[in-house]
Amino acid sequence: MGRLTVNLCGVELDNPIIPASGTFGYGYEFAELYDINLLGSFSFKGTTKEPRFGNPTPRIAECPMGMINAVGLQNPGVDKVISDELPKMRQHFHKKVMANVSGFSVEDYAYTCERLNGEEDIGWFEVNVSCPNVHGGGMSFGTLPEAAAEVTAAVRKVTDKPLLIKLSPNVTDIVSIAKACEAAGADGISLINTLLGMRIDLKTKKPVIANKMGGFSGSAIFPVAVRMVYQVAGAVNIPVVGMGGVSSAEDVIEMMLAGATAVEVGAANLIDPFACKTIIEELPRVMDRYGIQNLNDIIGGAHHG
């Protein structure tokens, strides 16, 4: 094991760096720029049962130190992901990959995960419970412990692969939701998903994006993400994958001190396609600066200070 190696739910990673879902596609576009096998893993584009065209345009609004997006889970649907996208991905990436799954009913989540379960290169499921529950009045599954637990339990029944639940920060008490997912069978928690944000065009006096509101991401949300990772890591007995505004090796160290076993990088990939490569290359130097011999030694270190 190298000094960057970590173990996420029983799967060993060469390093803790994972491009976040929705910012890395299926990897093959980035493979034209560098060898993506230097990554710990990556979380591929959020997959749903049926194909989705996504939200109307414009979908993106720039912000100081971040961006707002309302892409709307655009993807070809699970059948096309299996038949078309994963074979192309395998040509470039030869490690275990994280399957990000979304749904609009408990049955959707279970169906999509069951369809993907037979794919050998999927090492983990990362289940996004920030989606609206079409049978529950439109509220996100991730806003109530009971709803998040119901999704977790349904997916747990259809797969033996490690199951991570990706939580929304747009809640009052994220700890109770994380603990409910752990009790329902989750092997890990991913957080945070995007905050809810909005921009208004001063000239038109209307919202910038067609959906009015969207997911706010980028370096501006990093302190919120660190706080929530710290809270959840201190309350559960399963690994945490931290994300939200991560853009440097220093950010990775801070996330791991807060309790993250692995760290996802999202919006930074859209600003600089080499962001993850640079972070991985800089990690040993930053570790040396702070007297860190092995990353496993610092996971959750801020809880013991």
DSSP assignment of 87-99 equals HHHHTT--S-EEE
Structural domain count of the chain: 1
Helix (H) or strand (E) holding 269: helix 268-271
Any idea what the Cα angle at residue 56 is, between residues 142 and 49, rounded to 5°? Answer: 50
Percentage of the chain exceeding pLDDT 90: 94
Percentage of the chain exceeding pLDDT 70: 97
pTM for the structure as a whole: 0.96
DSSP alpha helices (H): ranges in 127-190? 145-156, 174-183
pLDDT of residue 137: 63
**Residue 65 domain-assigned (yes or no):** no
DSSP alpha helices (H): ranges in 50-138? 78-80, 86-90, 106-116
CA distance 20 to 242: 10
Which pLDDT tens digit goes with each residue over 15-67? 999 999 999 999 999 999 999 999 999 999 999 999 999 899 999 999 999 99
Q: What is the mean pLDDT of residues 155-167?
A: 98
**Residue 20 domain-assigned (yes or no):** yes
| Mean pLDDT computed over every residue of the chain | 95
Residue 135 has pLDDT above 80, yes or no: no
**155 close to 103: Cβ distance less than 8 angstroms:** no
CATH (domain of 174): 3.20.20.70
Residue 136 has pLDDT above 90, yes or no: no
Q: What amino acid occupies position 53?
A: F
**Residue 279 domain-assigned (yes or no):** yes
Active site residue 113: no
* Active-site residue (options: 113, 131, 181, 276): 131
**Residue 93 domain-assigned (yes or no):** yes
Which pLDDT tens digit goes with each residue over 64-87? 999 999 998 999 999 999 999 999
Which pLDDT tens digit goes with each residue over 212-232? 999 999 999 999 999 999 999
Query: What one-character DSSP code corresponds to residue 52?
Result: B
Listed residue (155, 107, 112) closest to 133, CA to CA: 107
Domain assignment of residue 138, given as a range: 6-56+73-198+217-303
Full DSSP string of 3-50 = TT-EEETTEEESSSEEEPTTSSTTSHHHHTTS-GGGSS--EEEEE-SS
CB atoms within 10 A of CB 278: 15
**Residue 67 domain-assigned (yes or no):** no
**Residue 64 domain-assigned (yes or no):** no
**Residue 17 domain-assigned (yes or no):** yes
User: What would the two tokens of residue 84 be?
Assistant: 């078309």
**Residue 63 domain-assigned (yes or no):** no
Q: Which residues share a beta bridge with 63? A: 66
Residue 92 has pLDDT above 70, yes or no: yes
